[in-house]
Amino acid sequence: MISSTALNGLRQGLTQASLVGRDGTAPIPDAVIQGTDTPAPAPANLATYYAGFRNNQIGDPFIFKSDFIKLRNISLTYDLTSVLRNQNSFIKGLTLSAAARNVAILYKDIPDLDPEAFASSGDTRVGYEQTTLPTTRDFTFTVNLKF
């Protein structure tokens, strides 16, 4: 898959990858001047260098495997009915539950994103991720009391 978020984050200086060169040492492009064996020169301006990935349609650094392993849901329920029934005759049942959704991503290749959360759609854009919102992690606590 190709990640527009990774591309835009790099060219706007918002990702860890864009830190290369900020310490005063220019990043060395992994390229040669077209038609020669001469290595491409180090960039003089980092903003121009990183913007060049989009302007020159360089996509290789933004292609990732879409494999992932995710712990999506956890739920735990405890029934206290038998404990309370002996003490209070008016309580017919008591159940406590806790649940969490989007608990953890155990493995992924794409940085800074949930591989399931894509904002692109349509048959012609398969494998193209376009600037998505972060996935939320939800926690739910439930008390079910029966009289």
Place of tokens 């739910």: 140
**Read out DSSP for the chain?**
-EEHHHHHHHHTT-SGGGGTTTTSPPP--S-B-TTSSPBPPPPS-HHHHHHHHHHTT--GGGB----EEEEEEEEEEEE-HHHHHTT-SS--EEEEEEEEEEEEEEEESSTTS-TT-----SGGGTTEE---PPPP-EEEEEEEEE-
Q: CB of 114 within 8 A of CB of 102?
A: yes
Per-residue pLDDT of the chain (147 residues; tens, 9 = 90+): 888 888 888 888 888 887 877 776 666 666 666 677 776 666 667 777 777 777 777 778 888 888 899 999 999 999 988 887 677 667 788 899 999 999 999 999 888 888 887 765 556 666 778 777 778 999 999 999 988
pTM of the model: 0.63
